Amino acid sequence: MLSAMRLVLARELRLAFRRWGQAATPLMFFMIVTTLFPLALGPPQLGGLASGVLWVAALLSSLLALDALFRADFEDGSMEQLVLTRQPLPILLVARVLAHWLVSALPLILLAPLLALALDLPGRALATLLLALLLGTPTLSFIGAVGAALTTGLRRGSALLALLVLPLAVPVLIFGARATDMAAHGEDPSGALFLLASLLFLSLSLGPFAAAAALRVSLE
Amino acid sequence: MRKFWHELASPPHFYRLAGRLSPWFGWVAAVLIVGSGWAGLFWAPPDYQQGDAFRIIYVHVPSAWMSLFVYVVMATAAAIGLIWRIKLAHAVAASCAPLGASFTFLALATGSIWGKPMWGTWWEWDARLTSELILLFLYAGYMALRGSIDDTARADRASAVLALVGVVNVPIIHYSVIWWSSLHQGPTVTKLDAPSIAVSMLVPLLTMSFGFMCYFAAVLLARVRGEVLERERNARWVRQYSGLS
Amino acid sequence: MAEQQADILTAENLQLWRGDRRLFEHLFVEARPECMVHIQGANGAGKTSLMRILCGLASPDEGQVCWRGERIGRVRSEFQGMLAYLGHRDGLKHDLSALENLRFCCGLQRSVEEVTLRAALDSAGVGDAADLPVRFLSAGQRRRVAFARVTASAAALWLLDEPFANLDAEGTAFVARTVLGHLEHGGLVVMAAHRLPPELSAARVAIVTLG
């Protein structure tokens, strides 16, 4: 089972490496959205908004990346092959989503402190921001995998994906932005971080099964 | 017992049974809603803080309860359809969604109207209103997913997965929103102080909720009948029923 | 009990609707070792739908598919471990080389030697292109790679949906020979195809006609 996960992980990373332009799109999107906020709000007003801006931007760019999660696999028929192997599908999907997270979310997290400083987030909140993103973005990926599995192959699939996934992402957004905000105000953010961690465990344990069921339906 | 469930799940049997039951629920709902509407408007005393403005709770609170209740009914039906592959259960889930969305919309609209005298604004980012709004998005997503899949069997199963994911998330979203609003604005105005509410205020509220429930049952049964007819349009009993053969 | 343990794929009483059109009903299919099942029918008769039902990707409106007497939904892992499916799409990643594609797909089924994979590609006539990204191969060459995946998988049950599509005469003959060889070694083959090449006339064939 572990070797199957390793195979999937290696293949996805290799594919992402050969198509690195595709993997870089969410990152650019993240930067652009973050830049839009100061332009729309005006620099003097930014003060307390940094964590909210970063989280909304992270949520939107993870959504953008999710749209492509299963699309290519559906179109070239390799999803059928993946579903028809001896291995349990949820396990394969865990590896699949993990690879997706490594490629699309991790660079974004590494870039986030830089953008945070540009948005006037106090330096003491940076560690919390990183930790919150590390805990929160995998949850977004696992929730989003269910949505992507349901909508891939439908007309208007991308718009539908946003409609399905964004409401479910609300708790992550609330706890993530709040944790960062609390740290910025010198409060103790551990409560929100624990809640983020429990959301991660919940989505990690249930999400792959829901995504597997959704994939089987979408393949019919 | 097994035979009873088996018969209930057979479309022609259910179609006839629902046709008989639906009007009964409808009449009970009409009596209860008119009666408790009257009691809420004239019999219950005015609130000592809000005066007559509070009377909107007789619509707002039951519809907010129903909005959640219908989601749970929908998810339960979806789970039954998914696990035991009962087509009728999928028809029930499909018929629930627009009803639940309407209740949610009603709760939002009345909440917003109530907000005008209470907070002086049509929209306040209050925890309950916000989580109702997100619930409306969940219903909208469910209906949009169903609408964009042509094949009924596939639409059934896909939307059932979504309903189950949603029902796990509804409490999480609800409590996270409450947590969020308690941090942002301190204690909000509590709309319904449970212990201090007068009996004459509470009784119409409960009968009204029951009336809403009966209304839901009546409309749901009628909708499921329509849904069953459409899904079984090639079956012999429908053709006989409609005089096609 | 001995009967149940034999490799045998049965489909009982299948019924499938597409919208308001019934593609088939009361359909029985049985695949046994050494005898090929040939599914034929006009375009739109439901050949691909039937293949997808047989491998468990789709479910019929009525009826069931069993592997060794058990419904395939119950023995999914065991059944899929014995199965190689060639869909009408090749199922290859265009950014990976032919060898990498095979290594992944076969590696998920069982541990395979690199030599086996290369040998499979060689005998399919695409050995020279083994290290090229599949993107650079022609449609016929991709079909050969996809077929090499089936042969390298060491599966007992082959479900082949239009295996001769895009293949030239030499490729068709190769696929036919390989299928014959698989049947002779006690393998099971279900094939959906418009017509069979003459090389397969030597095989024992059970015909299922749709439409």
The continuous run of DSSP H or E covering A194 comes out as helix A190-219
Q: Which residues span the domain enclosing C113?
A: 91-155
For residue C137, report the phi and psi dihedrals to the nearest 5 degrees.
-90, 155
What pLDDT is stored for residue B196 in this prediction? 56
More confident residue, C52 or B2: C52
CB contacts, 8 Å: A15 with chain C: 93, 95-96
- Report whether pLDDT(B187) > 70: no
Do B133 and B177 form a contact (C-beta atoms < 8 A)? Answer: no
Contact: A167, B158; criterion CB under 8 Å: no
Assess whether pLDDT exceeds 50 at residue B198. yes
Residue A174, chain B, CB below 8 Å: the answer is yes
pLDDT at B245: 54
* Residue B5 forms part of a structural domain: no
- B224-234 residue pLDDT tens: 999 998 888 87
Same domain, residue pair C115 and C186: no
Asked whether the beta carbons of residue C100 and residue A14 sit closer than 8 angstroms, the reply is yes
* Buried b / exposed e along C140-170 (16+ C-beta atoms within 10 A): bbbbbbbbbbbbbbebbbbbbbbbbeebeee
Interval C105-120: pLDDT, tens: 998 988 888 899 999 9
Predicted pLDDT at B212: 95
Flag whether B32 is in a domain: yes
Pick the more confident residue, B167 or B202.
Answer: B167
Widest CA span of chain B, in angstroms?
67
Alpha carbons C164 and C151: distance in angstroms, whole number? 15
pLDDT at B103 over 60: yes
Structurally, chain C folds into a number of domains equal to 2
Q: Is residue B4 part of a domain?
A: no
Query: Number of folded domains in chain A?
Result: 1
Size of interface B-C (CB pairs under 8 A): 6
Task: Supply the range of the domain harboring residue B108.
Answer: 13-43+52-186+193-242
Closest CA to C57 of C17, C31, C87, C29: C87
Please state, rounded to an integer, the average pLDDT across all residues of chain C. Answer: 89
Q: Evaluate whether residue B215 is within a structural domain.
A: yes
Most confident segment among A152-161, B200-209, B212-221: B212-221
Domain closes at, from C155, C176, C192: C155
Number of domains in chain B: 1
Q: What is the pLDDT of residues A186-212, one digit of tens each?
A: 888 999 999 999 999 999 999 999 999
One domain for residues C56 and C8 = yes
One domain for residues C98 and C144: yes
ipTM value for the complex: 0.90
pLDDT tens-digit map of A115-126: 998 888 888 889
Contact flag A77-C96 (C-beta cutoff 8 Å): no
Which range, of A39-48, A109-118, B96-105, B169-178, averages the lowest pLDDT? A39-48
Tell me: the pLDDT tens digits for A126-183? 999 999 999 999 999 999 999 999 998 787 888 899 999 999 999 999 999 989 988 9
- What would the mean pLDDT of B105-111 be, rounded to a whole number? 93
Chains that touch B (3 or more CB pairs under 8 A): A, C
C176 and C100: one domain? Answer: no
Task: For residue B173, give the chain A residue with the closest CA.
Answer: A171
Q: What's the whole-model pTM score?
A: 0.90
Tokens of C121: 């590609």
C136 and C102 within one domain: yes
Tell me how far apart the alpha carbons of residues C131 and C121 are, in angstroms, rounded to a whole number: 11
What's the token pair of residue A175?
A: 């706890």
> Are C78 and C160 found together in one domain?
yes
B151–C19 C-beta distance less than 8 A = yes
- The 10s digit of each residue's pLDDT in B30-42 is 999 999 988 888 8
Answer whether A56's CB lies under 8 Å from A108's CB.
no
User: How are beta strands C83-86 and C9-18 bridged, if at all?
Assistant: unpaired
β-pairing verdict for C157-161 and C83-86: parallel
- Contacting residues of A for B155, CB less than 8 Å apart: none
B6: in domain: no
Task: Tell whether A178 lies on the interface with B, counting CB pairs under 8 A.
Answer: yes
Q: Does residue C147 have a pLDDT over 60? A: yes
CB atoms under 10 Å from CB of B113, counted, come to 15
A209 alpha carbon, distance to own chain's centre? 18
**C149 and C185 belong to one structural domain:** no
Cα–Cα distance, B210 to C88 (Å, whole number): 56
Question: Percent helix, strand, coil in chain A (nearest 5)?
Answer: 85, 0, 15
A27 touches A61 (CB < 8 A): yes
User: Which of C55, C104, C135, C145 should one mutate to test binding to chain A, selecting the residue with the greatest count of A CBs within 10 A?
Assistant: C104
Q: Are residues C161 and C77 in the same domain?
A: yes
Q: Tell me the chain C residues in contact with residue A85 when contact means C-beta distances shorter than 8 Å.
A: 80, 105, 108-109
Is the same domain home to C161 and C207? yes
* pLDDT attached to residue B189: 45
The answer to whether B244 contacts chain C (CB < 8 Å) is no
HSE-up of C16 (CA within 13 Å, CB side)?
Answer: 26
Shared domain for C49 and C123, answered yes or no, is: no
Same domain, C103 and C73: no
What is the layout of strands, in order, in the sheet containing C188-192?
C83-86, C157-161, C188-192, C36-40, C205-209
Nearest-neighbour CA in chain B from A194: distance (Å): 13
How far is Cα C197 from Cα C207, in angstroms, rounded to an integer? 15
For C28-69, the pLDDT digits (tens) are 999 999 889 999 988 888 899 999 999 999 988 889 999 998
The CA distances from residue B226 to B88, B231, C48, C168, in Å, are 12, 9, 33, 54
> Is the confidence at residue B193, as pLDDT, over 80?
no
CA distances from B2 to B7, B8, B9, B87, C62 (A): 9, 10, 11, 17, 21
Mean pLDDT, residues B27-56: 85
**Per-chain mean pLDDT for chain B:** 86
pLDDT digits (tens, 9 = 90+) for C119-131: 999 999 898 889 9
- Res. A29 pLDDT band, cuts 50 70 90: very high
Based on the domain organization, do C161 and C131 belong to the same domain?
no
Mean pLDDT of A81-97: 94
